[in-house]
Amino acid sequence: MTQHIDEIVEELCRIDPAFFEQKTLVRAVVAKLIAVKPDTKFDEAFARRLGAELKNKVAARNVPVGLNLNFMKKFNFAFGFALLALALGAGAYYYANSGEVPGFSARDTSFGGQAEITKLASKAFGSLAFAQNPVRSQSGGGGAAMLEGDSFTDQSAVFPAPAGLGGGGAGGGGMGIMPPYYGYKFVYKGDALELTDETVQVLRRQLGESSSRDLKNFLLANDFGLADFGSFSNLKLQSFNFTEDRDHGYSVMVNFADGSIAINEDWLRWPDAHLNCADQPCYDAGKIEIGEIPSDKDLIAIADDFLSRHGIATGDFGQPSVENFWRMQYEQSSSQTDFYPPETISVIYPLRILGQEVFDEAGNPFGMTISVNTRVRQVTGLWNLTTQRYQSSDYAAETDAGKIIKIAEAGGFRRNYPLEDSAGAKTLSLGTPDISLVKIYSWQDGVNQELLVPALVFPVVDAPGSADYYSPKNVVVPLAKELLDESVFIGPHPF
């Protein structure tokens, strides 16, 4: 304190040299002022409380628009998810020329709703023909669909499957695991094709981590006292997950790296009819009966209601349909009484972009999928709800209609169906195609690109409808020239 007094006195003397003569008195005055400084009664507990409040304010302030993480503490899932979906579902439909690659950010993300497309230079996605197709493990749940890394190639590219096989809804029964083998012959019976466009616009869905500094700061401000998250550099948030704390609650996974949201039943809070079964009679006793399976109309109504309750926009999805491959299996089953109807059945909402529906390489509709538990008649999962931000790039188009038809009659660009020119082969007629989009995966430089390529989707118009075999719904031929190169074909193979 003496130093403080001396300092002030010296300052005063410099301001007014006359103070030098009365330095002692000045010193006494200053000393008295300092001596009677009040005790502020500073409360450390108050300081800690305020510090904690400020921490929360900083965290709340740094949360991206529309993503109020505080709601998670209340587990108000319906309201909270509606906020999330509403905020994320607002998108703008526009074209912009940009040489840059916009990064993913929760601020301007469109999940479903209208697409955003940014145009890039021609052939910006590299070679479309060079595509490795790692097999994606099929599952009925969104959890499996959330596999990170390189597991998003449609399995149908290698082992084409009818809709529902291996996915949600496949049942079991006397027919065994593999459907019977039949050869096919395709014949085009549609209108003449005129292909005049020299280029086609290929779309690439944008992925990427959220590099939102706000979200990162929230995490750094809440290190839970266990580790110094600030010691890690260049942080990016890849995903987060929250669950409902209630019976029949859901678990929601938001994956920024993949640009998707998946919802699954929190299995810990959902009843399991076979939980305590230890023998076959127990399982048999709990088997759902064929008559208990909801109709397609009811299944779609259950799915629609779920989407509506949770504010999930469906504006850019086509008419939903039910994956009923299990019914074919039931019809073909050698013992229908022993057939186990599925406990979950999938409803697909086909994605529509630029007014065109999206198909997988096997010609099945591709889009948001919802699985419905047939026992309790509730939704148990939702997946393929993804960002709709794309980049576009022009590629040379195939204009030889004859070549296109030839490939279609060969079973499509992936030769999905086993061809057989024998008396036992089934002849299927292909109708006039629609221009749609086919989803392919292109593995380039260690990165899996999700591409949508304009394609002609030829419908099978006269499926025999026999209970002896399954009938493919469509045959797909993309319009990008380099995908029709002979060297790309995997070759015909038995199903």
Q: Give the nearer residue to other proteins in terms of CB position, either 57 or 377.
A: 57
Of 371, 347, 343, 168, the closest CA to residue 271 belongs to: 343
Rounded to a whole number of angstroms, the minimum distance from the CB of residue 104 to other proteins is 19
Q: What is the distance of C-alpha 429 from the center of its chain?
A: 35
Rounded to a whole number of angstroms, the minimum distance from the CB of residue 116 to other proteins is 25
The answer to whether the CB of 113 falls within 8 A of the CB of 386 is no
Q: Give the nearer residue to other proteins in terms of CB position, either 21 or 292.
A: 21
Angle formed at CA 14 by CA 10 and CA 20, multiple of 5 degrees: 70
Collapse the DSSP code of 350 into the 3-class scheme (helix H, G, I; strand E, B; otherwise coil) and give the result: strand
Rounded to a whole number of angstroms, the minimum distance from the CB of residue 57 to other proteins is 5
Q: What does the alpha-carbon distance between residue 117 and residue 405 come to, in Å, rounded to a whole number?
A: 30
Q: Give the nearer residue to other proteins in terms of CB position, either 4 or 74.
A: 4
Q: Give the nearer residue to other proteins in terms of CB position, either 12 or 302.
A: 12
Q: Give the nearer residue to other proteins in terms of CB position, either 236 or 287.
A: 236
Rounded to a whole number of angstroms, the minimum distance from the CB of residue 5 to other proteins is 9
Q: Give the nearer residue to other proteins in terms of CB position, either 46 or 181.
A: 46
Rounded to a whole number of angstroms, the minimum distance from the CB of residue 12 to other proteins is 6
Q: What is the distance of C-alpha 280 from the center of its chain?
A: 37
Rounded to a whole number of angstroms, the minimum distance from the CB of residue 35 to other proteins is 4
Rounded to a whole number of angstroms, the minimum distance from the CB of residue 111 to other proteins is 25
**DSSP 8-state class, residue 70:** T
Q: Give the nearer residue to other proteins in terms of CB position, either 27 or 426.
A: 27
Cβ count within 10 A of residue 241: 12
Residue reference for tokens 């997946």 = 383
Of 44, 265, 55, 243, the closest CA to residue 142 belongs to: 265
Q: Please list, in sequence order, all residues whose beta carbon lies within 8 angstroms of the beta carbon of residue 189, skipping any fewer than 6 positions away.
A: 429, 430, 431, 461
Rounded to a whole number of angstroms, the minimum distance from the CB of residue 56 to other proteins is 10
Q: Where are the beta strands (DSSP E) in 216-280?
A: 239-243, 250-255, 260-265
Which residue type occupies 372? Answer: V
Q: Give the nearer residue to other proteins in terms of CB position, either 1 or 178.
A: 1
Q: Give the nearer residue to other proteins in terms of CB position, either 47 or 401.
A: 47
Collapse the DSSP code of 298 into the 3-class scheme (helix H, G, I; strand E, B; otherwise coil) and give the result: helix
The region that residue 169 occupies, defined by phi over 0 for left and psi between -120 and 50 for alpha, beta otherwise, is: left
* Binding stretches for other proteins (CB under 8 A): 1, 4, 8, 11-12, 15-16, 22, 25-26, 28-43, 46-47, 50-51, 53-55, 57-58, 61-62, 213-214, 217, 220-221, 230
Of 419, 400, 387, the closest CA to residue 112 belongs to: 387
Rg of the chain over all Cα atoms, to the nearest angstrom = 32
Rounded to a whole number of angstroms, the minimum distance from the CB of residue 1 to other proteins is 6
Rounded to a whole number of angstroms, the minimum distance from the CB of residue 11 to other proteins is 7
Cβ count within 10 A of residue 288: 16
Tell me the two tokens of residue 442.
């292109």
DSSP 228-296: -GGGS-S--B-EEEEE--STT-EEEEEETTTTEEEEEE-GGGS--TTTT--SHHHHHHTPPPGGGSPPH
How many residues comprise the chain? 495
Q: Give the nearer residue to other proteins in terms of CB position, either 10 or 292.
A: 10
